[in-house]
Chain A
Amino acid sequence: MDIEPLKIASFQIRSRLFVGTGKYETYELMRDALAETGCEVVTVAVRRERMADKQGRNILDFIDPAKYTLLPNTAGCFNAEDAIRTARLGRELLDGLDNKGAGWVKLEVLGDKKTLLPDPVGTLEALKVLKDEGFIVLCYTSDDPVMAVRLKEAGAASVMPAGAPIGSGQGVLNPSNIRIILEQLKEGDADYPVIVDAGVGTASDVTIAMELGADGVLLNTGVAGADDPIEMARAMRLAIEAGYLARRAGRIPRKLYATASSPIEGVIGTKD
């Protein structure tokens, strides 16, 4: 059976794995790893042009804007104003490339340099402004269910709760909160997209997120930082499919005691 496309606002996305483009040792490795993940959406950051390095290669030489939908982020912004300006610049860049991603943004407004946890107040502020300017906003947030609801109410096209701190590789630290977020955001709105973003360390983290009911997973360091990013990219592709299918297949319940898998009667024995 086919995996259904993920719908976010007007976007129909074939692969539920969103992959970041940062932290790779080389652009070539990044290009090959992205291809191996089978992803369609890749995130990119917006930064000042380094003017000293004329020999510097551009990431766009290694990501085909016709093949991938670029999702610009506002990573590194610690206040709403910077995030808003960055989002606008990101849209301008994607407009120039004729990429399908022009107009959407992964909104991150960070609160703390060590934890890279989001600043909920700044995030909400920026979300409202960007929504009014016509952006489709995917909001990075912590796994706080109250905040998740506020962001949806304020018009986020998708809420993206972190599994664990960015780049920490700890997987989904609080599955209960993720489940609560899923339940509350999808109440009466089953298709509202919730994507677990941040903290993914290995394939099973992705599968666990999907089995909890997430609609997708966004990761970067988990692949870029692996010993063998290409192999890990492949593992992640399999993991997202496994998790999606397992969820759809309907798992058995967890029980305290055993229920035998083989028939109880007809066993040869010494008891007769």
Chain B
Amino acid sequence: MRIRINGQWHDRSDGIRVAGLLRELELEPRRVAVELNKKIVRRADFDKTSLAEEDSLEIVTLVGGG
């Protein structure tokens, strides 16, 4: 299925969960925050939240800034 991650379209396995996606992207769950279709996905729900066709995700982290 096609999903948007950080503004780019990607092909991912149907029904993949957020936790699985983070694993595939080699991202540490504790260091990112995830927004799915403009709603925050809490860390405790990463392995319960499945993704669907045309879902839009923002996966963010902390960086330097003033």
The chain A residues found within 8 Å of chain B, CB to CB, are 20-24, 30, 43-49, 51, 54, 58-60, 70, 72-73, 75, 85, 88-90, 92-93, 95-97, 166-167, 198, 218-221
Verify A21–B31 contact, CB threshold 8 A.
no
Verify A49–B62 contact, CB threshold 8 A.
no
What are the residues of chain A within 8 A of B6 when measuring CB–CB? 48-49, 51
Verify A47–B31 contact, CB threshold 8 A.
no
**Chain B 51-66 near chain A by CB (<8 Å), digits 1 or 0:** 0000000111111111
Total A-B pairs, Cβ < 8 A: 102
13 contacts between A and B (CB under 8 A): A21-B66, A22-B64, A22-B65, A43-B66, A44-B62, A49-B60, A72-B62, A73-B65, A89-B35, A93-B60, A93-B62, A97-B30, A219-B66
In whole angstroms, how far apart are the Cα atoms of A48 and B60 in the complex? 4
In the complex, how many angstroms separate the beta carbon of B19 from the nearest chain A beta carbon?
14
Max chain B C-beta neighbours (<10 A), residue from A24, A90, A96, A198: A96
In whole angstroms, how far apart are the Cα atoms of A27 and B30 in the complex? 20
Verify B59–A30 contact, CB threshold 8 A.
no
In whole angstroms, how far apart are the Cα atoms of A30 and B31 in the complex? 19
In the complex, how many angstroms separate the beta carbon of B40 from the nearest chain A beta carbon?
6
In whole angstroms, how far apart are the Cα atoms of A145 and B25 in the complex? 47
Verify A44–B31 contact, CB threshold 8 A.
no
Verify B60–A46 contact, CB threshold 8 A.
yes
Max chain B C-beta neighbours (<10 A), residue from A54, A85, A167, A198: A85
Max chain A C-beta neighbours (<10 A), residue from B7, B26, B27, B62: B62
Verify B30–A96 contact, CB threshold 8 A.
yes
The chain B residues found within 8 Å of chain A, CB to CB, are 5-7, 25-27, 29-33, 35, 38, 40, 42-43, 58-66
In the complex, how many angstroms separate the beta carbon of B39 from the nearest chain A beta carbon?
9
Verify A89–B58 contact, CB threshold 8 A.
yes
What are the residues of chain A within 8 A of B61 when measuring CB–CB? 46-47, 49, 58, 93
Nearest B-chain residue to A30, judged by Cβ: B64
What are the residues of chain A within 8 A of B66 when measuring CB–CB? 20-23, 43, 45, 73, 75, 166-167, 198, 218-221
What are the residues of chain A within 8 A of B64 when measuring CB–CB? 20-24, 30, 44-45, 59
Verify A44–B65 contact, CB threshold 8 A.
yes
Verify B33–A21 contact, CB threshold 8 A.
no
Indicate whether A70 sits within 8 Å of B62 (C-beta atoms), given known contacts A51-B6, A89-B33, A96-B31: yes
Nearest A-chain residue to B62, judged by Cβ: A44
Further pairs besides A21-B64, A58-B62, A88-B40: 15, Cβ < 8 Å:
A43-B65, A44-B64, A45-B65, A46-B63, A47-B63, A48-B58, A51-B5, A51-B25, A51-B59, A54-B26, A93-B61, A96-B29, A96-B33, A96-B43, A221-B66
What are the residues of chain B within 8 A of A198 when measuring CB–CB? 66
In whole angstroms, how far apart are the Cα atoms of A237 and B29 in the complex? 36
